[in-house]
Chain A
Amino acid sequence: MSVHPGRCVPIETILLATCRFIAGGAFLLAAMMKLSDPPVFMLAIAAFGMLPEALIPFAAYAVPWIEVVAGVLLVYGFWSRPAGLVATGLYAVFTAALAWVFLSGASVDCGCFGGLFGRGDVGVTSLLRNAVFLTASIAVTWRGGGAASLDAVLAARRPAD
């Protein structure tokens, strides 16, 4: 499937592109903030109390770099399904961690987006936001990047076997 001028763009193309931009764009924004000051993100991870302290510094670099690589691939729509799978895994971990803290009733700073939107304890808003990102990632993993992705362009140019 490809996009032709003058024709209606299929709704699936629009939806998948939107999902890619939501999941990938959020990853890139969050990674930029986290990588700008890793020690602050280390404190945010420590606040959740889920990782041994020895692993926290590595996680503070690993998580945003996974977000960078998967985010770029999702936005361009290259290797959309593998990038979507990685994003699904990461968003699932984030959502589970937020749900764990929320259900425990603890007052913990979300640490989401490196504090870009100010300090905010884990709550329904952060859970719903992550649920949206998780849904978008699952959609891309399931259906691919859609006709408006680099994957589709490359597939169209590939000579038929």
Chain B
Amino acid sequence: MKSLLLRSLLIVAIALTAALADGALRGLRMPPKIQADKVPTLPVVQVRAGDTSPTAEPAGDGFTVEMLVALVESGTAILVDARSPAEHRAGRIPGSFQLEPGDVGAASARRDLVDFLAGTLAADPAMALVIYCGGGDCHASHDLGSQMIRYGFAEEQLFVFEGGYPAWVAAGHPIETGEPLF
């Protein structure tokens, strides 16, 4: 029994030594913006039914498609499509990237894209990332946004475009189809 305990302690000691060395090399620091203990409330960018025509004025605090266009054209916003890859290929807002809830994480095949987006936003605090999906309750956009904040994205740079792809199409704006670049 004594030998069993001593050997167990030796195993833990060897592992902790390796952990300290690894941590010293790679940095024993928490990632920024830890909000994993709560479900964050994302700022919501809304497109209302009456705001979807190209000439519509924003209703109250509403957010028109035109405002989204202006943001993207001025280079101050990146668009992310939270719908499925198939839906993204079938039609998307031009220039948008595709990420689904679950794509944000260490093991994700889309990690390069996520890290690219995180780096772009971190380099320019004035840049916004607008997530859209298929309209409706827009659960996918909110889930993806929450995961991004947990991953380290700054909450104040993330927005959800609740009108989504249907509002964009209804406003008569051009779409992009086929295989995306990323």
Contacts and interface: CB of A to CB of B under 8 A. Distances in A.
Nearest to A39: B31
Interface string B1-39: 000110110111011101110110010111100101101
Interface stretch (A4-12, A17-25, A57-65): A57-65
Interface residues of A, number: 42
Contacts of A37: 105-107
Interface residues of B, number: 34
Interface of B: 4-5, 7-8, 10-12, 14-16, 18-20, 22-23, 26, 28-31, 34, 36-37, 39, 101-102, 105-108, 147, 150-152
B71 to A, nearest CB: 29
A115 B106 CA distance: 7
Contacts of A44: 36
A74 to B, nearest CB: 10
Contacts of A62: 15-16, 19
B23 A61 contact: yes
Contacts of B10: 82
A15 interface: no
Nearest to B25: A61
Which 5 A-B pairs rank lowest in CB-CB distance, beginning with the nearest? A37-B106, A82-B7, A39-B31, A47-B36, A65-B19
Given A43-B151, A46-B34, A85-B4, A38 B15 contact: no
Interface in A25-67: 33-44, 46-47, 49, 53, 56-58, 61-62, 64-66
A69 B30 contact: no
A73 interface: yes
8 contacts: A43-B31, A43-B151, A46-B30, A46-B37, A61-B28, A79-B7, A83-B11, A86-B11
A131 B151 CA distance: 29
Contacts of B106: 33-34, 36-37, 40-41, 114-115
Contacts of B107: 33, 36-37, 113-116
